[in-house]
Amino acid sequence: MKSEDLRKVVFRKYEDGDGVCKIFRDLYGSLGLNTIKRWCKMIRDTGSIQLSTSSGAPRLARTSKTIEKVKHKLDRKKMVTTRRLAKEYGISKSSAHRILTKDLELYAYKMTIEPKLTEEQKNKRKKFVNWIGNNFRKEDTMRILFSDEKTFDLDGIYNSQNQRIWTASRDEADEQGGPKMRQKFPQKVMVWLGVCSKGVTPLVIFDQGTVDHAEYIKKVLPIALKRGPDRIP
């Protein structure tokens, strides 16, 4: 649907008494909610939807000078946002994004979390890796049982970045399960699992409380011996 047709539809529906959210839902995402709000305000203020147009030739944001400025900015500071670049150089967010991705051929990566190791710990790990490489044959590594444990709280997990609810308003999102309830002190459980070249061991679930060496010997060792690399089918 063309922009002119969309303006006519919004004008007619608003004149018929439809609210902003209803117009947004009826158009099935053809227009953004903020655009519909702005157009409805124009109708209230002026009685029509008049979009401003720039005179003369279109402004070119992705000039070589601007691209070079952005490049120097990134050389000094890697963590920047398209919003900040747009504000600093007087361009739109979409132009800033295109400069980063198309002109400079860059990609946005999230920061990762890694353990903070001392030099002594790093040297010990390197020494261990070299020892494994010199003393273990390939068939020996196939008999190693790797294990790990993880603590889970019974409130469950969710990803606030990726788990979204698409609605026209915050109230509708709340009605459709938007709030994620979390206890202040949720009940937790620790789980152990072993894996090797032939498969995985059964899960070992620990009771609440501190897990010490005695608990490992009592619960984990029998599973590791019984379902180790030599016995996992």
pLDDT digits over 169-226, tens only? 778 777 877 777 777 777 888 899 999 888 888 888 887 766 788 888 888 888 888 7
Q: Which domain, by its residues, includes 81?
A: 64-103
Q: How confident is the model at residue 128 (pLDDT cuts 50, 70, 90)?
A: very high
d(CA 12, CA 134): 79
Provide the number of structural domains found in the chain.
3
Is residue 108 assigned to a domain? no
pLDDT digits over 66-123, tens only? 889 888 888 887 678 888 888 888 888 888 888 888 888 888 877 778 888 999 999 9
Residues 76, 23, single domain; the answer is no
Residue 232: what pLDDT?
46
Is residue 129 assigned to a domain? no
d(CA 178, CA 148): 33
Is residue 196 assigned to a domain? yes
Residue 211's CB is within 10 A of a number of other CB atoms, namely: 16
Residues 36, 69, single domain; the answer is no
Directed axis angle between helix 3-15 and helix 33-46, to 10°? Answer: 60
